Amino acid sequence: MAGTWLGRIGHRLLHRDTFEMMLVPAIADLQFELSTRQQPRGRVADYWAVLCAFCGALCFDVWRDLSALRSDADMIAFLTLLQASYYTFMLVLLSGLGTGQISALKVDEAFMARATSYVGAITAACLITSSMCFWPSRRASASDTED
């Protein structure tokens, strides 16, 4: 049946209510259009419409999840700062700068750019892990909780 693979992907990635309200009607339209049309013309446009519906539903879910994360923003910022400072300190120790060689170090623009990029990458990785700890769980519909 046409669109079943899109349904499986949507079922895994989207919240249940978003899947049922946004993607299921688009897949039903795809199946209806393909069954009533004799020619294969327009198949790409039909699948493109379902893909657009899927992308819209995914953006909708991500936006709702990010809005839910707003209440935990201060804790996420604190954990990110804590992790980034810890890993940056470990990077400084492992690089040999913590052993008294820092006075002999030539600090130029290239060194500062490299150090800033390292700290930025560490901070980005810490932000991702801290955000995933507080990411909202998948919403369940009333029919899921009755089973």
Number of domains in the chain: 2
> Which domain-ending residue is among 52, 69, 86?
69
pLDDT value for 56: 93
pTM, two decimals, is 0.57
pLDDT value for 34: 79
What is the DSSP track for 68-80? HHGGGHHHHHHHH
Domain that holds residue 101: 71-134
pLDDT value for 147: 47
Residues 130 and 76 placed together within one structural domain of the fold? yes
Task: Output the tens digit of pLDDT for each of the chain's 147 residues.
Answer: 677 788 888 888 888 888 889 888 988 888 888 777 766 666 778 888 889 999 999 999 888 888 877 777 788 888 888 888 888 888 877 776 655 666 666 777 887 888 888 888 888 888 888 877 777 666 554 455 554
Closest CA to 70 of 5, 140, 134: 134
- CA 69 to chain CA centroid, Å, is 13
The reply to whether 128 falls in a domain is: yes
Residues 14 and 31 placed together within one structural domain of the fold? yes
Place of tokens 């002999």: 104
65, 27 Cβ separation under 8 angstroms:
no
Using CA atoms, how far apart are residues 86 and 109, in angstroms rounded to an integer? 24
